[in-house]
């Protein structure tokens, strides 16, 4: 009888996929790593998934629950009005990672200082940096929001509790990703071995693998920027927007939530940018828990991320809530934006050389 190799049925393949949970996927990628490192990262990613499920559950019923929509009346370290979902989501991450046993410190957009979990610190060598709800102004109008996270190894014992070891470039991130709360809840992450997405199956209560090794197209039609700031930008950014206005094949898409805008570009290509403005010359977005995690993903997916003059992944922060301008997405589209920046720089240098002010 011919030796017919076993051909799994469609059903068997579907079941295999349903069994590829987040923690399982991390372990599969870390087969050559030390068992303890693999187990730690699998556990940490499982915890990120739990935080996402808790936040998704609250968001799905936000309009029906007291104390969920609207503002708390407080202002955070960013000088922004705190929304009730910001506070709730921040507390979700604190509770979830307290019980992780692995994370000693939390750095959050919503907390001025580092949050220490003493019971974890003797053993826990990890720091979680996160924006618990990115784009929270969208919550009250039921539009997409996200959580952004990065995981770094603690270096030294941080006796002064000032987290100086966190003020390092993006290469120190050992994992990064985001959770997008949209029509479905999607978790996208990388541990430096490609970018992968998982979709929350509410009937299972599990994030199930939906896309592996995502690659950003080298060019795409989307440009994503708040054109309401047009007159606050440097001329080079205005020149770029004039270019896309005058050329076929570009579409403006801007949701007011970085995670959703980046997610679209991750799959369809294009560029997102938040340049410095007159009010915020250093930009609005925070490096350690917004731009750097997404830059990690972008580079893992074959894309690019820059401040306009320096790769985001190389930028050395001087403070925990460091802001930078952000241009991120397809390599060709990011390069087109930076070509206008370089052209402007050349013009200024030429005028200076000619003694023209």
Residues of this chain that interact with ligand P6P (CB under 6 A) are: 134-135, 226, 256-258, 284-285
Give the SS3 label for residue 108.
strand
- What is the spatial distance between Cα 43 and Cα 54, in angstroms, rounded to a whole number? 17
Q: Which is nearer to ligand P6P, 42 or 139 (CB)?
A: 139
Q: Are strands 206-211 and 196-201 parallel, antiparallel or unpaired?
A: antiparallel
What stretch of H or E contains 104? strand 103-108
Q: Provide the minimum distance between the beta carbon of 237 and ligand P6P in the complex, in angstroms, as a whole number.
A: 14
Q: Which conformational region is residue 141 in: left (phi greater than 0), alpha (psi within -120 to 50 degrees), or beta?
A: alpha
CA distances from 84 to 87, 95, 158, 239, 297 (A): 5, 17, 32, 39, 29
User: Least separation, in Å, of the C-beta of 66 and ligand P6P?
Assistant: 24
| Nearest CB to ligand P6P, comparing residues 21 and 330 | 330
| For ligand P6P, the closer CB: 22 or 51 | 51
Q: Which is nearer to ligand P6P, 42 or 271 (CB)?
A: 271
Instruction: Extract the tokens encoding 242.
Output: 């004039």
Q: What are the backbone angles phi and psi of residue 80, rounded to the nearest 5°? A: -105, 145
For the chain, the residue count is: 357
Least distance from C-beta 193 to ligand P6P, angstroms? 27
Q: How far apart are CA 85 and CA 143, in angstroms?
A: 13
> Which of 241, 258 has the CB closer to ligand P6P?
258
CB of 220 closer than 8 Å to CB of 333:
yes
Least distance (Å) between residue 224 CB and ligand P6P: 8
- State the minimum distance, in angstroms, from the CB of residue 271 to ligand P6P: 13
Least CB distance from residue 283 to ligand P6P, whole Å? 10
Q: How far is the CB of 331 from ligand P6P (least distance, A)?
A: 21
Residue 6 or 231: which CB sits closer to ligand P6P? 231
Those residues whose C-beta lies under 8 Å from the C-beta of residue 65, and which sit 6 or more positions away, are 58
Q: Using CB atoms within 10 A of its CB, is residue 96 exposed (0-12), middle (13-18) or buried (19+)?
A: buried
Q: How far is the CB of 226 from ligand P6P (least distance, A)?
A: 3
Choose among 307, 24, 33, 309: nearest CA to 192: 33
Pick the closer one to ligand P6P by CB: 134 or 333: 134
**Alpha-helix residue ranges (DSSP H) falling in the chain:** 10-18, 22-29, 35-60, 84-98, 235-246, 258-268, 292-300, 331-353
Nearer to ligand P6P, 86 or 206 (CB): 86
């Amino acid at each position: 009888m011919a030796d017919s190799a076993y051909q799994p049925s469609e059903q068997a393949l579907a079941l295999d996929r349903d069994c590829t949970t987040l923690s399982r996927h991390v372990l599969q990628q870390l087969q050559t790593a030390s068992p303890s490192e693999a187990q730690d990262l699998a556990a940490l990613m499982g915890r990120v998934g739990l935080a996402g499920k808790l936040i998704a559950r609250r968001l799905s019923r936000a309009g029906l629950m007291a104390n969920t929509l609207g503002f708390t009346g407080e202002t955070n370290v960013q000088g922004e009005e705190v929304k009730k979902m910001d506070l709730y989501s921040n507390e979700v991450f604190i509770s979830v990672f307290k019980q992780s046993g692995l994370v000693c410190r939390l750095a959050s957009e919503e907390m001025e200082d580092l949050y220490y979990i003493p019971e974890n610190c003797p053993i826990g060598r990890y720091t979680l940096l996160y924006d618990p709800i990115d784009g929270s102004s969208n919550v009250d109008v039921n539009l997409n929001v996200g959580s952004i996270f990065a995981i770094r190894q603690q270096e030294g014992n941080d006796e002064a509790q000032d987290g100086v070891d966190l003020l390092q470039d993006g290469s120190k991130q050992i994992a990064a990703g985001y959770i997008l709360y949209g029509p479905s809840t999607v978790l996208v992450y990388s541990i430096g071995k490609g970018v992968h997405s998982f979709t929350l199956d509410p009937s299972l209560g599990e994030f199930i693998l939906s896309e592996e090794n995502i690659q950003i197209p080298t060019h795409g039609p989307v440009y994503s920027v708040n054109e309401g700031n047009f007159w606050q930008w440097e001329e080079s950014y205005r020149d770029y927007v004039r270019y896309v206005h005058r050329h076929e094949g570009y579409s403006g898409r801007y949701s007011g939530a970085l995670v959703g805008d980046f997610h679209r570009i991750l799959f369809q290509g294009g560029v997102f940018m938040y340049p410095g403005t007159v009010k915020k010359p250093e930009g609005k977005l925070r490096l350690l828990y917004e731009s750097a995690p997404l830059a990690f993903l972008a580079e893992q997916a074959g894309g690019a991320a820059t401040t306009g003059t320096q790769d985001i992944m190389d930028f050395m922060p001087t403070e925990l809530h460091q802001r930078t301008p952000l241009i991120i997405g397809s390599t060709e589209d990011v390069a087109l934006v930076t070509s206008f920046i370089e052209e402007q720089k050349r013009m200024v240098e030429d005028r200076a050389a000619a003694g023209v002010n």
